[in-house]
Amino acid sequence: MNFHTQHELGTLRRKIGPRLRELKFFLYTLRRSTLAVVGVAIIVVFVFISVFGDYVAPYDPYELSLTETLMPPSLKHLFGTDEVGRDILSRVLVGAKYSLQISIVTVVIAVAIGAFLGSVAGWYGGRLEELLMRITDFVLAFPIFIFAMAVAAALGPSLQNVMFALSVSWWPYYARLIRSQVLTVRESQYVMAAKVMGAGNFFTLFRHIIPNSLSPILIAATLDIGWVITYAAGLRFIGFGAQPPSPEWGLMISSSRTYIQSAWWYPVFPGIIMVLVVIGFNFLGDGLRDAADPKIRRLLEVKGQ
């Protein structure tokens, strides 16, 4: 190994070393949170079911059996059956992929729109910032569910329209959050150094500003995934989103309203599973927030010494 190669490796270690140590301590802090570990376990199970639900479901979620309608939980049907004899457990397992798809796609689109507009507003300022923030305030003036319901009603009932409606209702919160981060980060020394060295606005924004403003965005996005599942189920409960005979959780709960007194298991099991998934994402989000909190991390460093 020649001197030039050794010098490059040494430079690479100096650049990557601090980031690796930071990542290790972040994971160490996260592992110390019992709730975060429980949240990760719930999410792993949820993702597994979402991916392999079609294969682990004991029955065909669409198969009708009119001789087994509204059967209570038993060894044959652990979650019971619905009004047309379909196995509820199978429908819950297969329907998990719809909740995962809606939550991930909605949050990704909302973060992308909010991060771009918020970072542009915070970096450039002036009239552009004023315009973007007033548009943000206009959307924020409406409750998320009401605004999403209006958009979904205008577009028509479908899974894609629900994702779009929630995305355009959610992005202002990320725009506000990342704008406040950009206003802080843009005064940092490394940003000033990049500007002195002649870096353009576009390069500085996407190379230095946005990457160093993503920590609170990722935490908020993790927490919001659970909320998106809840809001999406609410929209489907009132008739928007997936349509029968789709085994979607919100749609199943909506269909069970007529039978809630005679067949308690019909709405209870899909509702419990949905609540557990939301709790899992909330636990993980709280753990990420604690792991990223400098005060808590300094406290753990002191205890570890």
Q: Is residue 2 part of a domain?
A: no
Is residue 37 domain-resident? yes
Instruction: Give the domain range for residue 299.
Output: 26-304
| Residue 204 predicted with pLDDT over 80 | no
Decide if 17 is inside a domain.
Answer: no
Segment 219-225 mean pLDDT: 87
Does 95 fall in a domain?
yes
Q: Sorting pLDDT into bands at 50, 70 and 90, what band is 303?
A: very low
Per the CB < 8 A criterion, the answer to whether 259 and 83 are in contact is yes
d(CA 66, CA 21): 61
Q: What is the pLDDT of residues 160-199, one digit of tens each?
A: 888 899 999 999 999 998 888 888 777 777 667 766 676 6
- The stretch 245-264 carries a mean pLDDT of 87
Residue 1 in any domain: the answer is: no
Give the tens place of pLDDT for each residue, 9-26: 455 455 555 556 655 656
CATH code at 179? 1.10.3720.10
Instruction: Confirm whether 10 is domain-assigned.
Output: no
Domain presence at residue 163: yes
SS3 48: helix
Q: Indicate the number of domains in the chain.
A: 1
Residue 12 lies in a domain: no
Predicted confidence (pLDDT) per residue in 103-128, tens digit: 899 999 999 999 889 888 887 888 88
Picking from 181, 147, 164, 156, the residue whose alpha carbon sits closest to that of residue 109 is 164
Mean pLDDT of the chain: 81
Cβ count near 154 (within 10 Å): 9
Q: What is the mean pLDDT of residues 276-280?
A: 92
